[in-house]
Amino acid sequence: MGRGTTAELRGSKPGLTLTGGLALCVAALAFGAVMIGPFGLSPGQTLAALLGQGERQAEIVVWNIRLPRVAAALLVGAALAAAGASYQALFRNPLVSPDILGVSAGAGLGAVAGIFLSLPVAAIQASAFVGGMAAVGIVTLVASMVRNTDRTLTLVLIGVVIGALAGAATSLLKVMADPYDQLPAITFWLLGSLAAITTEDILPALPMVLIGLVPLALLRWRINVLSLGDEEARALGVEAGRTRFLVIAAATLITASVTALAGVVGWVGLVIPHIARMLVGPGFGRLLPASVLIGAGYLLIVDTAARTMAQAEVPLGILTAVIGAPFFVWLLARGRRGWS
């Protein structure tokens, strides 16, 4: 324990400096994103609107349209990156993403069911959240019934199965949906979007993300130890099963919350932790805040491009896939070098 703690303390000053620099970059990106749009604003106009001293039209654009969307992009990007970093450390695999246990597929099924039943927006978001949590709950329950196998491998394989079943059920609902009303809404949601987001949409997800981040931060040393393997963790006094359950629960809560808000946004949880790991190393105490900040800035850039690069808004899932797929190929070619 002493060596791990000392190592983290030695890297704390550079880590804090880098974290502060990343935070300043994210703040600058957020300010720039508020300025950009069909109704362009200068830095002075933006600052005046933020302070409530600008023109009425500029204040409406900033406070009612752009700030909620910027805040949502920051929240979703930070949450998915944090969940991705947690899953990769937990499963000791750099190719793992937040949907490995079927949470995205379950949330997608819940939202599609809500749209199919013509529920209001708040109920659709609630259905997505319940669907994501239920999928992981089923995975964990089934995995607990399987004996004499590798626990981590069992969780992943059952997650793939549950995700496939949820995807099949989603496809069935798409076939049965009204092609002129429900199907376009289902397709757009499954591709991910922050269009028409409001402050009221963000408020339910924010506390859920914070509740999920707290145990991940508190368990950072145990997560480091768990990444060495169960036997090493037990030798160092860490209860592997309990820690694994807490990390999975926290990361799933985070992922389900933002998936209910923004739809299915892929690749963020795979790409961003790797970029953060290249900058700060594999120590989870430094990796988590770096992933949160880089993920927030990354998705903010992608969302700003999605709403400005064409007359019709481009779904987030398309852009993140265009960026993430080549990165994934490069990652496979690079192998596991730099993981530890």
Per-residue model confidence (pLDDT) at position 15 = 64
- Residue 95 lies in domain: 24-334
CA 263 to CA 104: how far, in whole Å? 9
Position 218 scores a pLDDT of: 94
Per the model's pLDDT, the better-predicted residue between 33 and 151 turns out to be 33
Domain count, the chain: 1
pLDDT at 30: 97
Contact 273, 81 (CB under 8 A): yes
Query: Is the torsion defined by CA of 304, 310, 311, 317 positive or negative?
Result: negative
Confidence at residue 101, expressed as pLDDT on a 0 to 100 scale:
86
Burial of 217 (0-12, 13-18, 19+ CB in 10 A): middle
Q: Kindly tell me if the per-residue pLDDT of 335 is higher than 50.
A: yes
Give a yes or no: residue 3 inside a domain.
no
pTM for the whole structure: 0.89
Quote the pLDDT of residue 2. Answer: 43
Span 74-107, pLDDT tens digits: 999 999 999 999 999 888 877 788 888 889 899 9
Averaged pLDDT, 147-165: 83
Q: What is the CATH number of the domain that holds 170?
A: 1.10.3470.10
Split at pLDDT 50, 70, 90, the class of 5 is very low
Query: Is 6 domain-assigned?
Result: no
| Range 113-137 average pLDDT | 91
pLDDT at 3: 45
> Would you say residue 340 lies in a domain?
no
Q: Is residue 271 part of a domain?
A: yes
Closest CA to 196 of 184, 206, 188: 188
> Is 244 within a domain?
yes
Quick check: is 19 in a domain?
no
Report percent pLDDT > 90 for the chain: 55
Residue 215 has pLDDT above 50, yes or no: yes
In a domain, 15, yes or no: no
Nearest residue to 216 (alpha-carbon basis) of 177, 270, 253: 253
Q: What is the pLDDT of residues 259-299, one digit of tens each?
A: 999 999 989 998 999 899 989 988 999 999 999 999 999 99
**Residues 222-251, mean pLDDT to the nearest whole number:** 81
- Does residue 86 sit within a domain? yes
CA atoms within 13 A on the CB side of 173: 23
